[in-house]
Amino acid sequence: MNIVDRLSVSGGLCACGVCAMGTLLSHMDDRQRLGLSRLIDSPRSVLVALFPYLTGAPSGNLSLYARGRDYHAVIADRLGAVAKAFQAEYPDNHFVVLADDSPLPEVYAAACAGLGCIGDNGLLIHPDYGSYVFIGTIVTDLDLPATEQTPQGCLHCGACRRACPVELDKERCLSALTQQGGTLTEEQAALVREHPLVWGCDTCQLVCPMNKHAKQTDIPDFRQSPIDTLTLADVDGLTRRQFCEKYPDRAFTWRGPAPLRRNLSLKEGDNP
């Protein structure tokens, strides 16, 4: 067992791989490269880890990803422990943990690290966990052996495009729209009103045939104390501080109560 596999297993990672930093550079713009240079000098390798979050039936009005503990904290905890273990074995090298707000093209990095293929909806699809995964990375100036890429590819069946209310238009994505602050246009409000969720969107994932047999997660943080539904009564009248105190560790907390209150009001019949 090589060093990556050994430390990943000891850190409780269920799916991980490595890609060379040079492989990613052609997929990074100047802003991303500058952001990375501020985090670490001379990066050589990227360890990519997946964190599956599927827990069961999709009923509820919150996206499946937002129902358990905030994945940013989960990734930081788990990859932080792995990075610490690497640091102990390689004290002269540097290891930086990144999750979601990373300057790296994470989906492409995961595909290059042999963790799956990129679907037509832009999401990574893992052979076992489907697209119901979060991506975390450790960037290092240590040379690590790269993982072979998977031969599996997207079926290009068109199911996600047909099901998506905005035909996979990233600029109008319902997931981003439900999280957007401020007042919505009439078109945007209509999309939210007709959307089954008040936070996020799972439509393209639910219809993907490659997700049909996706395994459920074993990560306790995503299984324990789930919140699958919110009502207007749950968030109405709450200040941002009160909202954060009521929901301290959820992926929807960072935006405060305003977007959820607006979306719930639209769906429950009142124009906020």
pLDDT of residue 11: 76
- 103, amino acid identity: P
Q: Which residue has the tokens 């089954």?
A: 196
pLDDT of residue 1: 61
Q: What is the DSSP letter of 83?
A: H
Please tell me the distance from the alpha carbon of residue 88 to that of residue 74, in angstroms, as a whole number. Answer: 22
- What does the pLDDT look like over 126-183, one tens digit per residue? 999 999 999 999 999 999 999 988 778 999 999 999 999 999 999 899 999 999 999 9
**CA angle (165, 103, 8) in 5-degree steps:** 95
pLDDT of residue 7: 76
Contact 203/175 with Cβ under 8 angstroms? no
pLDDT of residue 141: 98
Alpha helices in 92-181 (DSSP H): 106-112, 159-163, 174-179
- What does the pLDDT look like over 45-64, one tens digit per residue? 999 999 999 998 778 999 99
* Token reading at 89: 């074995």
Residues of the chain falling short of pLDDT 50: none
pLDDT of residue 58: 74
pLDDT of residue 270: 58
Contact 133/52 with Cβ under 8 angstroms? yes
Please tell me the distance from the alpha carbon of residue 238 to that of residue 261, in angstroms, as a whole number. Answer: 9
Please tell me the distance from the alpha carbon of residue 195 to that of residue 177, in angstroms, as a whole number. Answer: 11
249 labelled catalytic: no
Considering the candidates 100, 128, 143, 218, report the single residue annotated as catalytic. 100
